[in-house]
Every structure is written in structure tokens, then in C-alpha cells.
Amino acid sequence: MLFGPPGAGKGTQSEVLLQRYGLVHLSTGDIFRYNIKNATELGLQAKAFMDKGELVPDSLTISMLESEVVKHQEPKGFIFDGFPRTSAQAEALDRFLNSRGTTITCMLALEVDEEELIKRLLNRASTSGRADDADESIVRNRIAVYNRETAPVAGYYQACGKYRGVQGVGTVNEITTRLCAELDAFVQ
Ligand code: ADP
């Protein structure tokens, strides 16, 4: 699991890690955006929440994630990016993976301070075309939602010794090196 607030660099680092470790990348945000673009029922439901910077309801998110996981036959592993984002999602993921005879390897969390996040997201708006990046009040709401609902999920993995925080400021390469050092300690 790659964890961290909006704008922490999860998507960028996922791209590098999935190649290096041969993993399948599952980004809930990307999957929702794909559904919105294709005007699916799920996309229509998710859009109302995403536009406001709110979380998509757990029931929708969990069933969507599970149906994506089962599409892959004998994967080497997954990078979950943007999931779990609530305690209910973390519990559902545990139950789901247990039922498939597997478990979470680790949660790597990118740590970036709030003002830097806001700067990055407002900057990203010009290239991402994402309405939820362009408006500072929505960006601030996403960070507030993260602090309130998502940050506590870290405690769940801390309690079982699977959490590692990584400094998320520096060059892309420097941050990749930090993440790989932590991940290698879990997978070797
Ligand atoms: P970021 O991490 O930069 O905010 P994402 O692309 O991960 O961007 O997510 C964009 C939006 O998609 C979120 O603000 C939220 O509305 C929705 N979303 C993504 N993942 C989840 C999730 N696990 N649970 C609920 N909503 C989610």
C-alpha cells in the first residue's frame, strides 16, 4: 500500500515501483476517473463526491476495488494507491485478502507538509485537468478529509508492525530510493 495525503506523490512513485517489482497498480482515483470518463453508473455516482473533494462511500469503493483485484490471474502482487482511505475500507480489505489466503505486506506512507501539498496540487491542476486540483477550497477540503478520515488508518498498520513513514520531499529518485529500501526489508 502506498499511503499519504493528496499530492504526496503516490501516483508518481507507483509508476516506478510497479515496473521495478512487477506489480499491478490499482489506483482507486484513476479507476473512478476512468468510470466518469466512460459515463458508467459507478462513475456517475462517484463524480458527485469527487467534485466536492469528499470520499466516495465505502460500499461503492470496496466493491469496486474487490472486482478489480479478482480480474488479475496469479498476480505477483499489487500496489494499492489511494486505498484503503477509511478504517472500514482497511477492515474490508483485510477480510477480503484473508479470504483469498493472502495479506498486506506493508504500508509505505509518503510524508509531506500541508502547504507543500497545496502548492503541488494547485500546480498540478494545469496539467492534470482535474477540477478537484484547481480550486483551493476543494484542495483544502481533500486535505481536511484526509486528516479526519484517512490518517487514522495508519494506526491500524502501525499496530501490526507493517507501517513505514518515508519523507516525501526531494527528487523523485531520492524518494524512490527511500521507498525501495523500506519495501526490500519486507519482501526479502
Ligand atoms: P488524491 O490522492 O490526489 O486526492 P485520488 O486520485 O487518489 O487523488 O482520488 C481522487 C478522489 O477520488 C478522492 O478525492 C475521492 O473523492 C475519490 N477516492 C479515491 N480513492 C478513494 C477511496 N479509497 N475511498 C473513497 N473515495 C476515494
Under 8 Å between Cβ of 162 and 107: yes
Q: What's the confidence (pLDDT) of residue 160?
A: 94
Q: What's the confidence (pLDDT) of residue 74?
A: 87
* pLDDT for residue 117 is more than 90: yes
How far does the centroid of ligand 1 lie from the alpha carbon of residue 188, in Å?
A: 31
Sheet of 2-3: strand order equals 24-27, 78-81, 2-3, 107-111, 163-167
Q: pLDDT tens digits, residue range 131-162?
A: 999 999 999 999 999 999 999 999 999 999 99
DSSP summary character for residue 19: H
Q: What's the confidence (pLDDT) of residue 188?
A: 78
Q: pLDDT tens digits, residue range 63-111?
A: 999 999 999 998 999 999 999 999 999 999 999 999 999 999 999 999 9
Under 8 Å between Cβ of 87 and 152: yes
State the Cα angle at 106 between 33 and 111, rounded to 5°.
Answer: 65
Give the number of the atom of ligand 1 that is nearest the alpha carbon of residue 28: 20
For residue 37, give Cα distances in angstroms to 23, 25, 47, 71, 123.
25, 19, 10, 21, 22
pLDDT averaged over the chain?
96
Exposure string of 50-65, with b = 16+ CB inside 10 Å and e = fewer, is: beebebbebeebbebb
Q: What's the confidence (pLDDT) of residue 171?
A: 97
Which of these CATH numbers, 3.40.50.970, 2.60.40.420, 3.40.1710.10, 3.40.50.300, describes 2-187? 3.40.50.300
Under 8 Å between Cβ of 111 and 4: yes
Q: Which of 132, 41, 127, 129 lies closest to 82, judged by CA?
A: 132
How far does the centroid of ligand 1 lie from the alpha carbon of residue 176, in Å?
A: 22
- Around ligand 1, the residues with Cβ closer than 6 Å are 6-7, 28-29, 32, 49-50, 53-56, 61, 82-83, 85, 89, 132, 142
pTM for the whole structure: 0.94
Q: What are phi and psi of 54, to 5 degrees?
A: -95, 165
